[in-house]
Amino acid sequence: MESTRVDSGIPNLNSLIEGGFEKKSTNLIVGGSGTGKSIISIQFLIAGMQKNEKCLYVTFEEKKSEVYENMKRFGWDLDKYEKMGLFVFLEYTPEKVKTMLEEGGGAIENIIVKNKISRMVIDSITSFELLFEKELEKREAAFALFNMISGWNCTALLTYESDAMKESTLDHRTLEFECDSIILLYHTREKTKRQRSIEVLKMRGTEHSTDLYKFEITKEGVIVDKKPYRGASVKKSNKGI
């Protein structure tokens, strides 16, 4: 029987979310600058490419040469995967995404269909959101984007830059309602140093942990602690949220 779960690629995260992300789901990673959003998203793609899955990385802000060079520090050779036909890197402007919504797919959809992409990352949708001034326009654009991604039948991970400590993390509730899961990344100060931690805020159809877990960015990527932060007991959410 084919698994309905997709390996996150993050050590110890799968055990918190019933084995991984739901297949063909749309997942949101929220955190401030330097919390590890891009590393986690590429680590998710690496896990797929190691199983010969074809992956797409769409970025609005990063240059290809810089991303490829930065990821070498973790031993991830994106150029190798690209030459193997497993990886597509696409530099895209937020304006092009706006046009894509108007056209109903555009270049990104062509790449997904042509290359049979099974995993994709959009890093980040924060820039895209800034294109719209009115709240109604933001809601309509977000709804159209999530609806389009859902039609592509791939497991998607989207990053969103915002302070996860604030209640106004999501500027409008459409993002929260339309995505299948929300994972929050924190980078809090403890005495003389900062500590990174992760929280699964919601994941539809999943009995996920509701505790905080510390994580580290190592030379091999992100690794989540096995035990909850500060020894808190593991709680479970209700399915279907």
Single pTM value for the model: 0.89
Give the pLDDT band (50/70/90) at residue 238.
Answer: very low
**pLDDT tens by residue, 91-116:** 988 788 788 888 777 888 999 999 99
CA dihedral 203, 207, 212, 216 (to 10 degrees): -80
**pLDDT tens by residue, 114-141:** 999 999 999 988 877 778 888 888 888 8
| Both tokens assigned to 182 | 């929300």
Show the DSSP H helices in the chain as ranges: 37-49, 64-71, 78-83, 94-103, 106-115, 126-129, 135-151, 173-178
- Share in percent of the chain as helix, strand, coil (round to 5): 35, 25, 40
Q: Evaluate the omega torsion of the peptide bond into residue 41 and state whether it is cis, within 30 degrees of 0.
A: no
Q: What's the CATH class of domain 20-185?
A: alpha beta
Who has greater pLDDT, 28 or 239? Answer: 28
Report the alpha-carbon angle 140-178-88, nearest 5.
Answer: 90
**pLDDT tens by residue, 199-215:** 999 999 999 999 999 99
